């Protein structure tokens, strides 16, 4: 008898898997990991630092264990997706929480190196996240389990959870690199609409990030 997929809230025991999810999503079908390139660190060092940030348990941003749901197939995690209500915790933006975490956990010299590169891509990195919206980030499905509608199921669980947190939440947003057209199409099939493109015209950006264009998608629910 074939096993069913079960979706559960991530816990601290899942931290290694969630770190891999974040790294895989950041690469966006390439070998280009922005967090490693900006901070001039190895992928192994970045994973260790992501785990440290996740272990801080700062709710309401990308690097929070509590933001993730995981899809399990038996005892194997095969998919994950992060999400949170923007500003739900103390009214602080996720961008600020994330920046504070990075400044706290990453080596100071690496943070200084990264700051020198940020101006070049400020317009691309600074995607507005309106307060009270449900933000989705870092979707991942194992190659052997694609085509099983895991992404849609994870999103459905997230949006139901958003309503539990705050019944007034009615708008979900997510962003993707434009080179990952397959995941954008999958989101569109799930009712998301392309709202805006964020473009960095400086080709040097491709030394640091997987692509120079991000797409913001949105859904009313």
CA-nearest of 141, 173, 171 to 154 is 141
CATH classification of 5-170 is 3.90.180.10, yes or no? no
pLDDT at 61: 95
Report CA torsion sign: 114, 119, 124, 130: positive
Alpha carbon distances (Å) from 89 to 22, 39, 62, 169, 211:
22, 28, 13, 14, 31
Q: Are 211 and 177 in contact (CB under 8 A)?
A: yes
pLDDT at 115: 86
pLDDT at 124: 62
Q: Tell me the C-alpha distance between 183 and 191, whole Å.
A: 13
pLDDT at 90: 85
Would the pTM count as exceeding 0.75? yes
In the sheet with 68-73, reading across from the earlier edge strand, the strands are 5-9, 68-73, 76-85, 134-141, 171-177, 213-220, 193-199
Alpha carbon distances (Å) from 141 to 68, 133, 149, 198:
13, 24, 10, 25
Crossing angle of helices 150-165 and 181-189, in 10° steps, is 60
3-state secondary structure of 188: helix
pLDDT at 127: 86
pLDDT by 10s per residue, the chain, length 221: 568 999 999 999 999 999 999 999 999 989 999 999 999 999 999 999 999 999 999 999 999 999 999 999 999 999 999 999 999 988 999 999 999 999 999 999 999 989 878 777 776 667 889 999 999 999 999 999 999 999 999 999 999 999 999 999 999 999 999 999 988 998 999 999 999 999 888 888 898 999 999 999 999 99
Q: And the tokens for 198?
A: 């964020």
pLDDT at 68: 98
């Amino acid at each position: 008898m074939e096993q069913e997929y079960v979706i559960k809230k991530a816990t601290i025991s899942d931290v290694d898997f969630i770190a891999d999810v974040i790294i895989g999503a950041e690469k966006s079908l390439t070998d280009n990991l922005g967090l490693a390139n900006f901070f001039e660190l190895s992928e192994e060092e970045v994973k260790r630092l992501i785990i440290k940030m996740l272990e801080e348990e700062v709710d309401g941003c990308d690097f929070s264990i509590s933001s993730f749901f995981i899809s399990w197939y038996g005892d194997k995690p095969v998919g994950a997706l992060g999400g949170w209500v923007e500003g739900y915790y103390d009214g602080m933006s996720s961008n600020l929480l994330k920046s504070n975490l990075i400044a706290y956990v990453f080596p100071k010299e690496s943070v200084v190196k990264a700051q020198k590169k940020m101006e070049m891509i400020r317009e691309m990195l600074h995607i507005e996240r309106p307060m009270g919206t449900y933000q989705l980030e870092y979707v991942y499905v194992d190659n052997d389990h694609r085509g099983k509608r895991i992404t849609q199921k994870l999103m459905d669980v997230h949006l139901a959870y958003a309503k539990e947190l705050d019944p007034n939440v009615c708008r979900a947003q997510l962003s993707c690199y434009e080179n990952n057209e397959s995941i954008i199409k999958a989101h569109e099939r799930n009712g998301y609409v392309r709202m805006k493109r964020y473009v960095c015209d400086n080709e040097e950006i491709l030394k640091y990030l997987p692509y120079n264009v991000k797409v913001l998608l949105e859904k009313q629910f």
